[in-house]
Chain A
Amino acid sequence: MSEHEYVPKSKAAKWFNDRLPLLTLGAHLTDYPTPKNLNYWWTFGGILTFCLITQIVTGIVLAMHYVAHADLAFGSVEHIMRNVNYGWLIRYIHSNGASMFFLAVYIHIFRSLFYGSYKSPREIIWILGLLIYLLMMAAAFLGYVLPWGQMSFWGATVITNLFSAIPLVGDSITTWLWGAYSVDNPTLNRFFSLHYLFPFLILGLVVLHIWALHIPGNNNPVGIDIKKPSKDTVPFHPYITIKDAFALLMFMIIFAGFVFFSPNVLGHSDNYIPANPLVTPAHIVPEWYLLPFYAILRSVPDKLGGVILMFSAIFILFVLPWLDTSKVRSAVFRPIYRQFFWILVIDVLMLGYVGAMPAEGVYLALARVGTIYYFLHFIVVLPVVGLLEKTDPIPMSISEPVITGGAEPSLARKINEKV
């Protein structure tokens, strides 16, 4: 790649770069050859980086005014909203930012599922991404507890009680998590500490995620390997940066719409009632981005079984690269898989919907069907379809997307070398 040729122009820069090759890194990132056919679904990596930085910056600022004490937390949030200069703006960016972060990460994940970005040689990128996603869920949950409203308190109670399903040691673990005999001030205090920690762990994993990405390079909508740099690639800057910037701005318009015009629509009104350990709200619902998993949890009539199934729904994604037997990456050339992909999208959306509804009657039935299908998709559909499916002809290079006849990788390579 081009960074090997990079030599700083000035002597001082060369002196510095020999000792710490930051300039080489900068040049690598700038010139990084990127497939030129990336569509807008590929802009969500940049958008997610923006989301993470926004959450970290606004979070550090909020921590300057927030008080992590059961008696004072709710009031300190009101203090931020009413007294702190621009406090309302910063808090609304942070609280809506969490939702926007998840919106972007779900699009990012489903993009990967559609175009087969998790497949060899990108398994590690995929696994790092899942770890980021897990930490995001943990950070979001911990953060939701901090305002110490009714949903904070009861959400914390319900989620920490999941651990009590573990045989023998469950109760001890739950008490240990609480630091008390219920969710209480010690719980709030440690949740605040961990909520401050997790984003920096995520940041570290993001660096690894991008590092791992830069080894094989980006996948692309066609899903074929490309030679870099070549006619099929463009330098990251300015081509990809400007495209990412455009997509990010569109995303920010939606973000701003929520922050300024309906800042509480994604939250729950009960969280403006101070935490009360004596009264549980009528409907306990997690934030929208956790609803599908919540539906899976509730679809099982057994405490331990529900918890195991819910965690399995996430952990099954870790072995996804080995469950998918297809040699073709992109769903563009996989007519059967493509249909199952959309069914999975609908299935997850439906699980999200029933997760927000009371767990009874038709909702429970739907949740069960949805849960079974979710697992079937990964355990049965993916391996079987991969083996049986007749894929469409694959182009030899990005520049020549329309070809006749089957894929002939060796031929493609020859053509690429001529360019």
Chain B
Amino acid sequence: MGGFRFPVKVKLPSSYLNSRIIRDHFKRQQAAEHEVTIQALKYIARNTALPAKARLEAQLQLATMPNYTRMNAIKDRCVESGHSKGIIKAFRLHRYQFREKALAGELPGVQKGSW
């Protein structure tokens, strides 16, 4: 049996929730927490001026970091529906949710184009 999927307790966000959003939110918290450590390890590992042993050790530590601590495992999701594709980044919304909210006048400054 594996351990707990989310070994660290994390508070839930205020957006729409589904399992994928919860997972991504967890990843974000973990990545933010371990960011400095990972950057420092990367600096040691990639610095050719440092002794080879230290670099190797840093590389090994990087490889054995806990799960869900990598920045590039994070995916922007729609905060209204949890969609992962077709996201309009500036609004953090799926294109359809964006349309619905914009038409309902819930996005300040967004107007339907007409010319």
Say whether A and B bind each other: no
A-to-B contact residues, CB < 8 Å: none
B-to-A contact residues, CB < 8 Å: none
